[in-house]
């Protein structure tokens, strides 16, 4: 376990009912690089064979789950606690989105804080007494006409935001898989070959429209982000199509 | 169904194996305001009772699921297709995160495009022939040591990002629940009362430290974002504590 992982937040499930949900939460946590799972008075005790099955190996890869009698004990070592809640709880308390919480939590951890996320039992959610032990309420913005999320999914979304807040994957890259992007002179050489054959076959015969059509075709090839190999393939395609055209033309002439 | 919902993306599950996963995908979609579910050659046919159970009512709230024989038919009406994939597929293709895809997809839909997200079967993921029908690959950045996500969770994360990209919930607000924030004159009046009693009891007797201590205490109250009602409560608390102190002091003096 790296220090980055040990600094990750605690996930605290308060009086969880179903083992399957505890296991799904553990799996979702490990997906998101979080491994500090704490249970407050789980209904069916601990360990729980249904949780182990649903975790598909995640529990074995995490430190032992800690079990507590009360929420206060489960959060005793933490410095900032977010309480997940779907409903308006008639409390004067800051309420944040999962995304905001994740960014804030990363900053707190970087500053030496120890952060936890509280999740209530499946049907009822957290009790108001538990909420009063938390600094901040957290809700996940979802379709208000259908907010039914199970415990594992709720943990996944909170954990996902935590992971994204510390992840540097670029939003978009062109995956090259060992191919080499074509240089602009290779591309321009292909343009010349392509346009020469289009002139030869008469496709660009309209002199007025020609500059515009050439630019559009060039832009189309530019958008394709061609590789060196693809440029070679396209030279071959154009050559073979032109040869086919010549052969058909010759055949048509000899038929006359 | 609003026009915003009909403009939402299509989710296409290619040869899904387990009904439970189709149902979990439908539930996750509706959580995220997406209702166009398409299946390509589902193993157990359609409809599927296990899918209906796992959807916990979501399928009844969505238009009928469309079933196709091939991926090409399932995406025929779309203009941009993202293919979800966990592995490096040895293709030269743009690869984006779920977050980037969601923002880009919102822009495409706003420009009149019709967007879909392809998901492969549980064990194998999408085939390379399916990937070659897609514009863009999509991966969800997750803990590389444990990326095992089930189909419903993958759909949830992609749908979640779609929903967030169109959601205007402020990252952080102080939920007031009908309470009125205290005005600064109410707060300063409380400071005066509090500091007067602290002077009276001797807590601020160190003249040199006094300005610093007063500022710290004021900052602590500022951070609490007090309401009008809480200011009234705190006046009462300070008054009663001061009265108790006087009573104890008198009792102690008469005991001498």
Q: Are A23 and A59 in contact (CB under 8 A)?
A: yes
Q: What is the CATH number of domain A184-254?
A: 1.10.8
The residue of B172, B182, B230 whose CB has the most chain A CBs within 10 angstroms, and thus the best one to mutate to test that interface, is B172
- A207-226: average pLDDT: 95
CATH 1.10.8-classified regions of chain A: 184-254
- B234-244: average pLDDT: 93
pLDDT at A2 over 50: no
pLDDT on residue B147: 86
Which residue among A57, A88, A171 sits closest to B96, beta carbon to beta carbon? A171
pLDDT in tens, B179-238: 999 999 999 999 999 999 999 999 999 999 999 999 999 999 999 999 999 999 999 999
B244: pLDDT confidence band, cut at 50, 70 and 90? confident
Highest CATH level, class, for A3-165:
alpha beta
pLDDT on residue B90: 78
pLDDT on residue B249: 86
Q: What is the DSSP string of B23-80?
A: HHHHHHHHHTT--EEEEES-TT-SS-HHHHHHTTTTGGGSPPPEEESSHHHHTTT-SE
pLDDT on residue B118: 98
pLDDT on residue B1: 39
- B116-126: average pLDDT: 93
Whole-angstrom Cα distance, residue A34 to residue A9? Answer: 7
Q: Which residues contact A130 (CB under 8 A, 6 or more apart)?
A: A14, A71, A83, A118, A120
Identify the bridge partners of residue B97 per DSSP, sorted by sequence position.
B139
Which residue among A28, A90, A99 sits closest to B171, beta carbon to beta carbon? A99
A95 neighbourhood in chain B, CB within 8 Å: 172-175
Any long-range contacts for B215-222 (C-beta under 8 Å, 24+ apart)? Answer: B218/B191, B221/B187, B221/B190, B221/B191, B221/B194, B222/B187
Subunit contact A95:B28, Cβ cutoff 8 A? no
pLDDT on residue B70: 98
B20: pLDDT confidence band, cut at 50, 70 and 90? very high
pLDDT in tens, B24-76: 999 999 999 999 999 999 999 999 999 999 999 999 999 999 999 999 999 99
pLDDT on residue A8: 87
> How high is the mean pLDDT of chain B?
93
Which residue among B92, B95, B177 sits closest to A88, beta carbon to beta carbon? B177
pLDDT on residue B4: 45
A61 neighbourhood in chain B, CB within 8 Å: 145-146
A164 neighbourhood in chain B, CB within 8 Å: 99, 141
Q: Are A151 and A122 in contact (CB under 8 A)?
A: yes
B32 neighbourhood in chain A, CB within 8 Å: 142-143
Subunit contact A167:B141, Cβ cutoff 8 A? yes
pLDDT on residue A123: 85
> How high is the mean pLDDT of chain A?
93
CATH 3.40.1280.10-classified regions of chain A: 3-165
**Best-predicted range by mean pLDDT (A118-127, A238-247, B82-91, B99-108):** B99-108
A171 neighbourhood in chain B, CB within 8 Å: 96-97, 99-100
Which residue among A27, A140, A148 sits closest to B56, beta carbon to beta carbon? A148
Q: What percent of chain B has pLDDT over 70?
A: 96
pLDDT on residue A4: 45
Q: Look at A44-53, A69-78, A155-164, A168-177 and tell me which has the smallest mean pLDDT.
A: A168-177
B2: pLDDT confidence band, cut at 50, 70 and 90? very low
Subunit contact A171:B61, Cβ cutoff 8 A? no
pLDDT on residue B253: 86
- Interface ipTM: 0.90
Q: What is the DSSP string of chain A?
A: --HHHHTSPEEEEES---HHHHHHHHHHHHHTT--EEEEES-TT-SS-HHHHHHTTTTGGGSPPPEEESSHHHHTTT-SEEEEE-SS--S--EEEEEHHHHHHHHHHHHHTT--EEEEE--TTT---HHHHTT-SEEEE----TT-----HHHHHHHHHHHHHHHT----SEEEE-TT--BPPHHHHHHHHHHHHHHHHHHTTT--TTTHHHHHHHHHHHHHHTT-BHHHHHHHHHHHHHHHHHHHHHHHHHHHH-
pTM for the structure as a whole: 0.91
pLDDT in tens, A17-54: 999 999 999 999 999 999 999 999 999 999 999 999 99
């Amino acid at each position: 376990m790296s220090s980055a992982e040990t600094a990750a937040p605690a996930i605290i499930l308060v009086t969880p009912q179903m083992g399957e949900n505890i296991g799904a939460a553990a799996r979702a946590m490990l997906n998101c690089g979080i491994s500090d799972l704490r249970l407050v008075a789980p209904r069916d005790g601990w360990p729980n064979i249904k949780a182990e099955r649903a975790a598909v190996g995640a529990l074995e890869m995490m430190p032992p789950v800690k079990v507590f009698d009360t929420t206060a004990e489960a959060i005793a070592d933490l410095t900032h606690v977010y309480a997940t809640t779907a409903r308006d709880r008639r409390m004067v308390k800051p309420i944040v989105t999962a995304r905001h919480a994740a960014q804030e939590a990363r900053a707190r951890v970087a500053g030496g804080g120890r952060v936890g996320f509280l999740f209530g039992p499946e049907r009822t959610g957290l009790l108001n007494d538990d909420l009063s032990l938390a600094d901040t309420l957290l809700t996940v913005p979802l379709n208000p006409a259908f907010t039914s999320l199970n415990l594992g999914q709720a943990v996944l979304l909170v954990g996902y935001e935590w992971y994204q807040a510390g992840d540097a994957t670029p939003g978009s890259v062109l995956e090259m898989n060992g191919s080499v992007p074509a240089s602009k002179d290779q591309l321009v050489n292909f343009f010349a070959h392509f346009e020469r054959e289009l002139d030869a076959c008469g496709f660009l015969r309209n002199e007025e429209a020609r500059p515009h059509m050439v630019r559009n075709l060039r832009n189309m090839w530019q958008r394709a982000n061609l590789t060196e190999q693809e440029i070679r393939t396209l030279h071959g395609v154009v050559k073979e199509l032109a040869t086919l055209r010549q052969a058909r033309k010759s055949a048509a002439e000899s038929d006359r």
